[in-house]
Chain A
Amino acid sequence: MRITRRSFLKYCTASAAALGLNPVMLQQLEAALASDGAPTVIWLHGSGCQGDSVSFLNLFLDAPAVGHVDTKDVLLNNINLAYHTVVMASAGDTAVTMALQGKRKGGYVLVCEGGVATAFGGKACRVMTIGGVEKTYQEMVLELGANALAVLSVGACASFGGIPRSIYPLPPLLPSEPSGPTGILSVEEALAAGGVTGPVIINIPGCPAHPDWVAWVVVQLILVLAGQATLPELDAYKRPTALYGGNVHENCPRNPNYHPTVKATTFGEDGKCLEDLGCRGPGAYADCPFRGWNKGPIPQLEDLSVDPANYTRANWCVDSNGLCFGCVEHDFPGGDFYA
């Protein structure tokens, strides 16, 4: 089992289209990686379910030209993953030391998964003990965020509060009264409240976040750190517009030429628009209809109606006759899912 940095490049080469890389950028990426440009990553888990980590394990590519490349290649070589409590072998003090070492060395990227609990003095989510003192997630986000090059909020909880916050805008609750009891803030809000303004903050929402989205941002960051690119363009919610620019409804295969198909009246009706059942596609901005939730060849839209026998595209929410819940939006989960 010998894995080299090349496999990350292979991954990027083969999925260049999906990752939005052109040949010039690939060359630059190669240069960046050759000069040991792999950044240290400290991945903290807060008030979330760690589903983004599990989702990230599904990063996958199998292209004829480059062979088989997947998560292990990317993880094992290219990001120096100093701290990640789901996969790291060590625990306790040694694990903490690794995070602190990364911090001392500087030049690291902080990945935050999970919202920041502020109730009970932040004790609703405590993450580690340093020198006999319990540290809350809130404290660690501020401490590690202050010196980070960039802070990536992965998943809906870290980006906007998500389900632990649950802003439920329907009566009887007051508008924007969160029903989550632990005073969840998004990482961005928590950093602002703690007076940390230094690092670049990029939100990668989704419940869970798509592994490609995370990989895309990591690739961009490697390029930025090597001085080969500028920061990706972000929208008002600090989401990269390259990933979260398109509207789900407009690109939905059940909305060909902007004319939605017959509306479904019950679940299990293939090919019918789910708007009447509660689909939030019209308000969701992400590239799910193109990217799908698997690796596989990305087809042209007209291919979507073909016989399932030739159905090479990845599965995604609406395609599986499920609703789009708008999991990438700032108000997720919002009100009742089903109409």
Chain B
Amino acid sequence: MKITAAFDPITRIEGHLKIDVEIDHAGGVQQVVGVKSMGGLFRGFEKILIGRSPRDAQHITQRICGVCPIAHGVASVRAQDDAFSTVIPENARIIRNLINGANFVESHILHFFLLAALDFVEGPAMPPWQADWKADRRFSKAVNDIIVGHYVLALEKRRKADQMTALFGGNIFGLFLHRSRTRQSAFLRRIRSRRRRLIKTSRSRTRYGRIENRPAARRRRYLRARQVLLVRGQRRPESGVRGDGSGRPGQQRP
């Protein structure tokens, strides 16, 4: 006899997921014969970005995922580097990597403990930590308890990783990065002075920064960046950047 079942929602992920499973007899053995997974959320980030200044992308794309925002921000900022033909200074690269690394640590801790671990260990006996299945409980009680202890510790450690993200990331990716930071002042002192030094010396936004002061140049750069989108066919034709009404891609205003 064929059985179909839907698991919806799949919890402890970022996003909305549904799994449809089909179980049937094949060759005399009952087995899973079909599985479909379905993402349940569409927001249309590509559409949201159309028409905006390219530099907004690094902030908008971070809202794709609240667990791993920086990865999206970094991807977007690299795309901008390509579009603007920017060669970033060494220190800017280091800062970006530090921010990305901090979030990498944060989201890995979050994923391993908060999201994944409860499939294998028994959480505290209260909602929302009560699991309703015991499919893969291969740990002994003692080991289980240790892992639960680590789960609680992980809440604290991931926050510290988040603090590092905020310290370095505040002024490059901005908004999403203001999470907590550690109270250990010696650490803070070291990090803060280092960050200030790096930012002062790197001028990681030099190219953008200097142009900020020159409206004509800013407009040119802005149009050029829009042109890139236009050539890729991502802009709405009626919004023609060239102002001559033709809206055809690939032609640059002299």
User: Which residues of A are interface residues toward B (Cβ below 8 A)?
Assistant: 1, 45, 47-55, 57-58, 60, 62, 70-72, 76, 80-96, 98, 117, 124-129, 132, 134, 162-164, 166, 168, 171-173, 179-182, 207-208, 265-268, 270, 276-277, 293-296, 308-309, 311-312, 314-317, 319-323, 325, 327, 333, 336-339
Contacts and interface: CB of A to CB of B under 8 A. Distances in A.
B11 interface: yes
A90 B130 contact: yes
Nearest to A295: B180
Contacts of A339: 212
Residue in B9, B12, B55 whose Cβ sees the most chain A Cβ within 10 Å: B9
Contacts of A117: 42-43
Nearest to B178: A293
Interface stretch (B29-37, B136-144, B155-163): B155-163
Contacts of A317: 170, 174-175, 178
A47 B43 contact: yes
A127 B16 contact: yes
B73 interface: no
B44 A312 contact: no
Nearest to A310: B185
Interface residues of B, number: 93
Contact of B52 (A81, A129, A168, A323): A168
B167 interface: yes
A333 B11 contact: no
A85 to B, nearest CB: 5
Contact of A86 (B59, B114, B202): B114
Contacts of B65: 49-51
Interface of B: 6-16, 18, 40-44, 47-48, 50-53, 55-56, 59-60, 63-67, 69, 110, 114-115, 118, 123-124, 126-133, 148-149, 152, 155-156, 158-159, 162-163, 166-167, 169-181, 183, 185, 188-189, 192-193, 196, 199-200, 202-206, 208-210, 212-213, 236, 238-239
Contact of B16 (A125, A277, A293, A312): A125
Residue in B8, B10, B67, B238 whose Cβ sees the most chain A Cβ within 10 Å: B8
A153 B127 CA distance: 22
A176 to B, nearest CB: 14
A83 B172 CA distance: 35
Contacts of A267: 171, 204-205, 208-209
A333 to B, nearest CB: 7
Contact of A179 (B48, B131, B204, B210): B48
A47 B64 CA distance: 10
Given A179-B48, A333-B60, A336-B56, A266 B203 contact: yes
